[in-house]
């Protein structure tokens, strides 16, 4: 698991089931006429007048304990900015874990930060994180405690390490956040800190189990006279691409193109923004990491990385979504591949209503004269008491005479301080563009979740009809009904080695309505959280799977773990062995497989990050134990971060199955989100040679593709 995502997942697990013991009394935040200098030193006199927060309690590895390291937080504002700062004391400052990295890549460092629920709806909050060297992380925290770090905001930070620990300062321009247009505004906030070597996360106010949602127990604070200045942003960009491909033994230029784009954002009100983009630059700066793409039943899911879609994308998550659901997303914006133009509306209508809308016209012609596709997406949510809500969806992809339209509703209801119920229901209405019969389908799910300090229980029932279709989303399988159930018990032993021990059971009982067959998966596992932000886990998996009307054995076992060995070294390993299927629609057969993955990260200095990873899968036919295939991907990812703005990166990846070596180099300068310069190079080499007639296998690599690109953009904020 990616370290950044692993940290976010642990964060969500710890925070998903909290709420306040008592309704906290709102505190008025002091206002200043003198802005502090954001240099990380905390020596400005303004901090002496700021709101001071010092009563931190742990929520990881256990709840309500005094943290081993003392922390002080500060908050103050003026007419244009909100300022926050931390003094993070540390008894062993030489062991502080910090790196100079790009934005949102410091999740495995020590860090501090704040949440701001600017509308006091207890539905979502801005998150601002800073590591000891001033590197930023940010995103949106939802009512389930999940942090979406794809949303990048313009704000400023600085951090310094000294002999007492470290200090950080942050400045959040009011133009970068949305808030109600009122003279007196009540927001909710929380200060928090992560210390890697002690496996601690602490917060103020303290978060306690058995008391409901995270955001509902943050501290209410009052601002007077926040000045709304209409947001007007222009983002012109230029990209030049040059690529070559091997054609009958020689490299031939197949692309030499310069594209210009313009994106504009306007604050309709203080809480609603409208964006429009013409000929948008939706390219990715770096290619996705290689994944095993052979003998898979389902398509690979890749995260959205294109900036235009990232702001406000979290609103498209829906309730009662199981982690292992076949219906992963109603809106997966990577389905909009190459748009001519797009519009996006995002924000609040009143204090309780959220809305997001997207329209894009996508070039699907591939050089032909066929019709292009129109995407229309609408999402609304209405906040109820606590972290409850109800909402609705409409999505459509229309191309020629064909269409796919989806309508839906979802909701979350807090039943008690320890329990919630959720639901969603979607209906799809489709007709293929090339003609054919209309097909309608549905998806429905309901869930119940209970959680306290020791016990967590979740039940989810979901049904996906055979004709359900979502062209704007990500759907892996149809024609199924299944019940997902999870239960665990967490022990907190009085041990310096075992911070917590968690046996758990996870199961899925499923019925395939197409072939009228039952399937099951049952996972009996135990995981232990250890010092140095380490975890070890062992699974026994008993199950089967239906494919093309046949039932196959999927029994297996798995062991995995990760640890921050030292401040410089991180390691992660996983191994799984057991039953597997060869997914051939004409002749599927039973087999068994070994799967392994490992990551080793070495940071010899704060500026240099060296990562080596290996993914390996093999497959054997059960009947005669012959090996059908093996597949390995070796990837080296090396980054030299000159400062928080500029980095150099080199990536080498070898795919043994495809016999393909890819090499990528990138120079990246990001002053603030939007103001960037990228220069990149990529090369793909395969073990082939041209014999004058065809490409044949070779023992040597031959360059088959080569590409260069240059991108520059500038965020002009008026």
In tens, the pLDDT along 704-714 reads: 999 999 999 99
Backbone dihedral angles phi then psi of residue 45, each to the nearest 5 degrees: -65, -20
**Residue 614: its H or E element:** strand 608-621
DSSP 484: E
Q: How many residues does the chain have?
A: 718
Beta-carbon contacts of residue 247 (< 8 Å; ≥ 6 apart)? none
* Cβ atoms of residues 238 and 712 within 8 Å: yes
pLDDT at 173: 95
Q: For residue 10, what pLDDT band results from cuts at 50, 70 and 90? A: very low
pLDDT of residue 285 exceeding 80, the answer is no
pLDDT over 70 percentage in the chain: 94
Per-residue pLDDT, averaged over 30-37, amounts to 96
Exposed/middle/buried for residue 603 (C-beta within 10 Å: 0-12, 13-18, 19+): buried
Q: For residue 223, what pLDDT band results from cuts at 50, 70 and 90? A: very high
Beta-carbon contacts of residue 525 (< 8 Å; ≥ 6 apart)? 503, 504, 505, 506, 537, 538, 539, 540
Per-residue pLDDT, averaged over 548-565, amounts to 97
C-alpha 487/C-alpha 523 separation (Å) is 11
Q: For residue 16, what pLDDT band results from cuts at 50, 70 and 90? A: very low
The closest alpha carbon to 496, from 534, 454, 527, 526, belongs to: 534
* Cβ atoms of residues 274 and 268 within 8 Å: yes
- What pLDDT, in 10s, does the model give residues 331-362? 998 899 888 899 999 998 888 899 999 999 99
pLDDT at 307: 72
pLDDT of residue 154 exceeding 80, the answer is yes
pLDDT of residue 68 exceeding 80, the answer is yes
pLDDT of residue 313 exceeding 90, the answer is no
pLDDT of residue 22 exceeding 50, the answer is no
The closest alpha carbon to 635, from 347, 197, 330, 288, belongs to: 288
CA 354-179-333 angle, to 5 degrees, is 40
Backbone dihedral angles phi then psi of residue 697, each to the nearest 5 degrees: -65, 150
pLDDT at 284: 55
C-alpha 516/C-alpha 506 separation (Å) is 23
Q: What is the mean pLDDT of the chain?
A: 91
The closest alpha carbon to 477, from 298, 294, 295, belongs to: 298
pLDDT over 90 percentage in the chain: 78
Per-residue pLDDT, averaged over 374-396, amounts to 95
pLDDT at 304: 75
Backbone dihedral angles phi then psi of residue 692, each to the nearest 5 degrees: 95, -15
* Cβ atoms of residues 58 and 71 within 8 Å: no
Q: For residue 299, what pLDDT band results from cuts at 50, 70 and 90? A: confident
pLDDT at 11: 45
Per-residue pLDDT, averaged over 457-466, amounts to 98
Q: For residue 36, what pLDDT band results from cuts at 50, 70 and 90? A: very high
Comparison of pLDDT for 687 and 150, the residue scoring more: 687
- Partnered with residue 641 across adjacent β-strands are 647
pLDDT of residue 315 exceeding 80, the answer is yes
pLDDT at 2: 47
pLDDT of residue 384 exceeding 80, the answer is yes
pLDDT at 283: 56
Q: Which domains does the chain have, with CATH numbers?
A: 3-224 (2.60.40.1190)
Other C-beta atoms within 10 Å of 516: how many?
9
pLDDT at 153: 92
Q: For residue 406, what pLDDT band results from cuts at 50, 70 and 90? A: very high
Per-residue pLDDT, averaged over 471-499, amounts to 96
The closest alpha carbon to 139, from 658, 673, 526, belongs to: 673
Q: For residue 1, what pLDDT band results from cuts at 50, 70 and 90? A: very low
pLDDT at 9: 42
* Cβ atoms of residues 160 and 40 within 8 Å: yes
pLDDT at 323: 82
Comparison of pLDDT for 299 and 477, the residue scoring more: 477
Q: For residue 20, what pLDDT band results from cuts at 50, 70 and 90? A: very low
pLDDT at 8: 43
pTM, two decimal places: 0.89
**Residue 8: its H or E element:** helix 3-15
Comparison of pLDDT for 438 and 459, the residue scoring more: 459
**From its phi and psi, is residue 532 left (phi > 0), alpha (psi between -120 and 50) or beta?**
left
C-alpha 303/C-alpha 634 separation (Å) is 21
C-alpha 621/C-alpha 643 separation (Å) is 52
C-alpha 269/C-alpha 353 separation (Å) is 14
pLDDT of residue 447 exceeding 90, the answer is yes
* Cβ atoms of residues 86 and 236 within 8 Å: no
pLDDT of residue 309 exceeding 90, the answer is no
């Amino acid at each position: 698991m990616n370290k950044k995502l692993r940290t976010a997942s642990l964060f969500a697990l710890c925070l998903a089931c909290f709420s306040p013991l008592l309704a906290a009394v709102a505190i008025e935040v002091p206002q200043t006429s003198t802005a502090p200098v954001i240099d990380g030193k905390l020596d400005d006199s303004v901090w002496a007048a700021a709101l001071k927060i010092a009563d931190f309690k742990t929520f990881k590895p256990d709840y309500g304990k005094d943290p081993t390291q003392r922390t002080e937080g500060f908050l103050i504002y003026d007419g244009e900015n909100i300022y926050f700062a931390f003094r993070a004391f540390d008894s062993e400052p030489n062991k502080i874990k910090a790196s100079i990295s790009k934005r949102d890549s410091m999740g495995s460092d020590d860090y501090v930060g704040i949440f701001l629920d600017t509308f006091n709806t207890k539905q979502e909050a801005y998150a601002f994180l800073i590591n000891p060297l001033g590197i930023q992380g940010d995103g949106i925290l939802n009512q389930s405690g999940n942090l979406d770090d794809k949303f990048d905001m313009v704000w400023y930070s600085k951090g310094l390490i000294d002999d007492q620990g470290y200090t950080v300062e942050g400045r959040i321009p009011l133009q970068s956040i949305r808030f109600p247009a009122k003279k007196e505004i009540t927001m909710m906030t929380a200060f928090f800190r992560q210390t890697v070597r002690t496996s601690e996360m602490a917060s103020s106010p303290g978060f306690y189990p058995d008391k409901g949602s995270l955001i509902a127990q943050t501290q209410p604070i009052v601002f007077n006279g926040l000045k709304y200045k209409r947001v007007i942003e222009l983002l012109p960009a230029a990209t030049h691409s040059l690529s070559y491909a091997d054609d009958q033994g020689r490299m031939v230029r197949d692309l030499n193109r310069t594209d210009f784009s313009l994106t504009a954002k306007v604050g309709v009100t203080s809480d609603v923004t409208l964006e429009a983009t013409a000929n948008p630059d939706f390219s990715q700066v770096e290619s996705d990491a290689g994944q095993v793409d052979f003998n898979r039943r389902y398509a690979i899911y890749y995260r959205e990385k294109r900036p235009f879609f990232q702001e406000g994308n979290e609103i498209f998550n829906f309730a009662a979504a199981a982690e292992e659901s076949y219906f992963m997303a109603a809106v997966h914006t990577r389905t909009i591949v190459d748009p001519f133009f797009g519009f996006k509306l995002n924000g609040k209508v009143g204090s309780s209503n959220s809305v997001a809308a997207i329209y894009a016209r996508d070039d699907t012609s591939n050089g032909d004269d066929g019709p292009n596709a129109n995407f229309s997406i609408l999402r609304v949510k209405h906040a109820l008491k606590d972290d409850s809500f109800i909402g609705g969806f409409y999505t459509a992809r229309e191309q020629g005479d064909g269409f796919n339209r989806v309508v839906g509703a979802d909701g979350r209801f807090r039943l008690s301080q320890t329990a919630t119920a959720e639901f969603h229901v979607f209906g799809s209405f489709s007709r293929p563009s090339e003609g054919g019969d209309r097909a309608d389908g549905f998806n429905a799910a309901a869930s119940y979740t209970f959680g306290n300090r020791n016990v967590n229980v979740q039940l989810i029932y979901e049904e996906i009809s055979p004709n359900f279709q979502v062209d704007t989303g990500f759907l892996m399988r149809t024609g199924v009904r299944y019940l997902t159930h999870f239960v665990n018990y967490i022990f907190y032993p009085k041990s310096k080695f075992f911070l917590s021990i968690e046996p758990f059971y996870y199961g899925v009982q499923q019925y395939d309505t197409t072939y009228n067959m039952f399937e099951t998966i049952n996972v009996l596992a135990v995981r232990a959280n250890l010092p140095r932000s380490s975890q070890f886990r062992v699974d026994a998996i008993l199950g089967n799977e239906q494919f093309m009307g046949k039932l196959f054995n999927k029994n297996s076992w798995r062991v995995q773990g990760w640890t921050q060995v030292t401040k410089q070294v991180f390691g992660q390993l996983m191994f799984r062995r057991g039953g597997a299927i060869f997914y051939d629609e004409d002749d599927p057969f039973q087999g068994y497989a070994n799967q392994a993955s490992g990551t080793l990260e070495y940071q010899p200095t704060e500026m240099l990050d060296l990562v080596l990873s290996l993914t390996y899968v093999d497959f054997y036919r059960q009947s005669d134990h012959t090996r059908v295939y093996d597949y390995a991907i070796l990837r080296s990812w090396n980054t030299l971060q000159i400062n928080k703005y500029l980095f150099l990166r080199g990536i080498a990846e070898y795919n043994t199955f495809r016999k393909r070596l890819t090499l990528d180099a990138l120079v990246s300068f990001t002053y603030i989100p939007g103001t960037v310069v990228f220069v990149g190079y990529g090369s793909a080499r395969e073990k082939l040679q041209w014999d004058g007639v065809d490409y044949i296998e070779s023992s040597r690599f031959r360059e088959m593709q080569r590409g260069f690109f240059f991108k520059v953009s500038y965020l002009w904020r008026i």
